[in-house]
Every structure is written in structure tokens, then in C-alpha cells.
Structure 1
Amino acid sequence: MKTALRNYHARMQRVLDYIDQHLDDDLDLGAVSRVAAFSKFHFHRQFVATFGLSVHRYVQLARMKRASRRLAWNDAESVTEIAMDAGYDAPDAFARAFRQRFGQSPSSFRKSPDWAPWIAAFGPLDNARNKFMQIIFTHDDVTIRDVPPMPVAMIEHRGDRATLGTTIERFKAWCKAEGLSPETGRSSLMVFRSERCPANPADYSMDLCVGTDRPIEMNDEGMKAGLIPGGRCAVLRYPGNTNNLEPAALYLYRDWLPDSGEEVRDFPIYCQRRLSLMPDVSAPEVIVELFLPLK
């Protein structure tokens, strides 16, 4: 029974991966159901029952998330071009949908993004993407490594996660100005000093880091020098690029750690994102790994 369930989940996960990788294609119900090898007559209900939203809604949200990121980080693209790529026939229709979802026009969001409604709007998308994360991990997915220490430039975020987008914007702007963006081959890291959703939102705490041994001068962005300590770590590679690593962290703490006989070290759990520039691949692969420091 467990094997059959895992196979079913793997087929559904394959559907999400396919959609995310083919947002520019015609993602009709028949095409998507064939990816999972399910009957198109039942697939819609299966998808809704599994993920809590329809295929059409998932595709809409995924395209809108991509569009909003392009607005925030790519000034070279026009709003019209972004609207068309998001599946809208006219910029006006895109603008209405955008304002309804985020409370801002696309041009206003581009100038000064309000990240709190942005995070809330994509809750259903994040929930769908992480539906099976607690199930697909096994102990074989975890390796123990001796990790060398890494000097970093870092910015601290302290306070409500709804304001995290502003900190991320400052971090990215500084990295871009210093030539330390991920596109240059640099690793970006996040040190999680609190739960993703603490009981008191004001207690949310994390550090955004980028690997560099350069001296860090005083700056308006709040960047400073830091160090990710070396030592033994349990490492779990996350299957896909995501902004919610809570399921993976939960697996490490709840399942892997008690069975391993290991003890944690006095440093928070952290993740590392890096680009793997593989030959003959149209887009670089994002590798996400979660590190649990061990004694």
C-alpha cells in the first residue's frame, strides 16, 4: 500500500514539475494528465483533491509568480511583454488581475514592491509544491559531510516575515552592485534562526548570506562580514527550487535525527543555493541543500 501511495505521489509531483518547466506552453488538461498517465476524465478531480486547487488555478498562479519576479528584478522587459508571457491577451487584463491579487498595479509593483500581499497570494501555490515533501524523503537522501568554513557577506532580517521581501531586495541590490550575484557562480545561503512561522510573527529571524572573502565596507544596505562555521553536517538536497524548506527541516529533526544517534551542534540549520551550469542545458539547475550542523 505504501509503495502504491508513493508511486501516486510521484506521478502527481511529475505533473507539477512539468507545469513549472513549460509555463510558455499550452497547458490544457489533456496534455497535463498525460504527463502523469492519468485519465483526463478524472484528472481534474484528482488534482483538486490532492492539491486543493485546480490545474487552471495552479498554472495561473505559477505564471503570475514568474511575471511578478520579472517585474521586480528585470527592468529591461516591458509590462506588455511580461503580460503576454503570463498568458494575457492585453496589458489591461494583466493589470486588473495583478492589482486584484497584490493590491498594486504592475508599474507600481516594479517601482516599490509590497511583499506582504505577494507572500499571501502564493500560499496555495507553495502548499501544492510542498504537499509531498514529508513523504518523499528517506534516510538515504541524507549524507554527512565535513564542511569547510565559509566567509560570507550577510544581512540580518529580524521581524515579521511579511517584510522579508524588502530585506531580500536590499540584499540582491548589494550583491548585484558588488558582482556577487548567484549568476556569477557565488553561493547564496540562508541561516534560519527561528521557525518559518513562529507564534509571534515579530520573532521571525534569518540571515541572508553570499559567499565571499572580500572585506565588507560600511554600507547603507546593512551588509556585514560573517562566517558559516565548518564541521560535520547532515546534508539533505531538496528536490527543486523552493522558498519553503520547512518540510525538509521537519524531516531532518523529526525523522532522521532521532534514528541517526547524532547530536546537533550549537549553530542554526541553514541552506545553500547555487547554480550548476551544466553543458547542453538551456537553463542552469538550481541546487538547494539543507545543512544541519552536528557535533
Structure 2
Amino acid sequence: MTAALQNYQARMRRVLDHIDRHLDADLDLDSLSAVAAFSKFHFHRQFTATFGLSVHRYVQLARMKRASYRLAFAGAQSVTEIGMDAGYDAPDAFARAFRQRFGQSPSSFQKSPDWEPWLAAFGPLDIARSKLMKTFTPDDVTIHEVPTTRVAIMEHRGSPATLGATIQRFIAWRKATGLHPSAHPTFTVWRSERRPEQPSDYSIDLCVGTDQPIAGCGEDIKAGEIPGGRCAVLRVVGYTDNLEPAALFLYRDWLPASGEEARDFPIYCQRLSFFPDVPEHETVADVFLPLK
């Protein structure tokens, strides 16, 4: 039964990866059932039973998520171009669908996103993807001696619902200062739980590695460092929006069994590739647990 279940899950995961890789293609029931190697007469029911979403709804949400990221973070693309890439033949059709889902027009979202409806809209997509989330084992964890890295820090303090706005400002600031991710590593330091009892207690630092003098460009930017030393490292490949399962595995499962002790610095991650630059299943992040 275990082997059969693993095979079934692998086939379904193959479908999700195919969808993410081919968001611009005609993702009809015939092609997706063939990817899964299931009969098309049963595939739709199997997909809905597994993920809680129909195939059509899943594809719509995946396309709309990519479109919203491009609107919020890319800047250079036109609303019409983004709508066409999302599968809409006309700008007004894209605008209607976008407004229905997020309560804003695409142009309004591009200028000033309202992130709470955005988070709510993609809740079903996140839940669906978590159904086949990879489980970690001790063999996935390696211990590295990490060098000290000087960083520029933009702090986010307050509700997770407003994190998107901080990320927008962080991206705009690093573009203005020429700190491109290809040459300057990107880190997130978690200084609170992902879901603290009070949303106002949510606290993370967005960091970019640089030896340059820190120029704020109108933003509240601080100089700091990611301290060097021994770290347990867990690589996560695919769907790296939510790294809480990886962090929990390191703290709750790996650390007590390892005989190691945690150092006095928060758990953090380095993001090695970014959505929508790559499909979501190809995004990569390393999660670091500092050790004594």
C-alpha cells in the first residue's frame, strides 16, 4: 500500500509540476490526464478529491498568482501583456476576473496592492499544494561552516498581511541601489513565529548581502550581519512561499535527535531562486539553523 500511495502521489505531483511549467499552454483535461497516466474519465474526480480544487480552478489560480506577482513586483510589464500571459484574450476580461478575485483592478493592484484579499484568494491554492508537500528526513540535513555576511536590512514589524508591501519596497530599494540577486544574496531572518498569537508581533528581517555603504534611498535601511559559524542546513526545492514545515522539522525533529545545541541567533533562510523568474516548483531556498 505504501508503494502504491507513493506512486499515486508522484503522478499527481507530476501534474502540478507540469501545470507550473506550462502555464502559457492549453492545459486541458486530455493533456493533464495523460501527464498523470490516469484515464481522463476519472482524472478530474481524482484531482478534485486529492486537492480540494477542480483542475480548471487550480490552473486559474496558478495563472492568476503569477500575474499578480508580475503586477506587484516586476514593474516593467504592461497590464495587457500580463493578462494575455494569464490566458485572457482581452484586457477587460482579465480586469473583470482580477477584480472579482481581489477587489481591485489590475492597474490599481500594480500601483498599490491590497494584500489581505490577495492572501485570502490564494489560501485554497496553498492548501492544495500542501497535500503533496515533501516530507523531510535527517539525511536531508547537512552541517556547514558558514562565513559571516554583511547585510543591509529592511525590517518588517507588524501583521503578516502587510508583508507584501514591505517586500515591494525592499525590491524597489535594491533595484535602486543596484544590488541584484544574482550578485548579492538574499536572506530572510525570522524573529517571530509565522503565526504569533498577536499578528502585530510578527517580525522578520529582509536582508541583502553587501559590503557597500548603506544608502537608504528614502527607506529605513540598517546595516547588520548574518553571523558566521556552524549551521544545520536544509534545502527546500519547490513552493518556497511557506518554509515553516522546514523550520519546524529542524527545530522539532532534527535538533533534539542530533545532540546539537542551537546558537543564539534566529533561524533564517537564503533564497536562491525566485518566482516568477522560475516556475514555483523550481524555486530553491536553504533554511539555516545556527548551532553552537
What is the deviation of 1:2? 3.1
What is the deviation of 1:290? 0.7
Aligned residues: 288
Per the alignment, residue 213 of structure 1 pairs with 211
Asked if 1:293 is matched to 2:282, the reply is: no
What is the deviation of 1:122? 1.0
**What is the CA deviation profile of residues 247-268 of structure 1, one whole-angstrom value per residue up to 9, with x for unaligned ones?**
2112222322222222211111
What is the deviation of 1:44? 1.5
User: Do the aligned residues in 2 keep the contact of 1:197 with 1:204 (CA within 8 Å)?
Assistant: yes
TM-score normalized with structure 1 length? 0.91
Cα distance 1:14–1:255, how it changes in 2: closer, same or farther (>3 A)? farther
**What is the CA deviation profile of residues 221-266 of structure 1, one whole-angstrom value per residue up to 9, with x for unaligned ones?**
1111111111111111112142111121122223222222222111
Per the alignment, residue 165 of structure 1 pairs with 164
Cα distance 1:107–1:206, how it changes in 2: closer, same or farther (>3 A)? same
Per the alignment, residue 175 of structure 2 pairs with 176
CA distance in 2, matches of 1:6, 1:237: 21
Asked if 1:152 is matched to 2:164, the reply is: no
| Structure 1: gaps spanning 5 or more residues | 277-281
What is the deviation of 1:217? 3.4
Asked if 1:100 is matched to 2:100, the reply is: yes
Per the alignment, residue 235 of structure 1 pairs with 233
CA distance in 2, matches of 1:32, 1:61: 16
What is the deviation of 1:275? 4.1
Per the alignment, residue 251 of structure 1 pairs with 249
| Structure 2: gaps spanning 5 or more residues | none
> 3-state DSSP class of the match of 1:124?
helix
Amino acid paired to 2:234: L
Per the alignment, residue 8 of structure 1 pairs with 8
CA distance in 1, matches of 2:216, 2:75: 27
What is the deviation of 1:72? 2.0
Per the alignment, residue 195 of structure 2 pairs with 197
- Worse overlay, 66-75 or 184-193: 66-75
**What is the CA deviation profile of residues 96-126 of structure 1, one whole-angstrom value per residue up to 9, with x for unaligned ones?**
1111111111111111111221122111112
CA distance in 1, matches of 2:285, 2:40: 33
Note the aligned Cα RMSD (angstroms).
2.0
Amino acid paired to 1:36: A
**What is the CA deviation profile of residues 122-181 of structure 1, one whole-angstrom value per residue up to 9, with x for unaligned ones?**
111122223233x53222111111111111111110110011111111111110011113
Identity of aligned residues (%): 72
CA distance in 2, matches of 1:240, 1:120: 21
Amino acid paired to 1:17: D
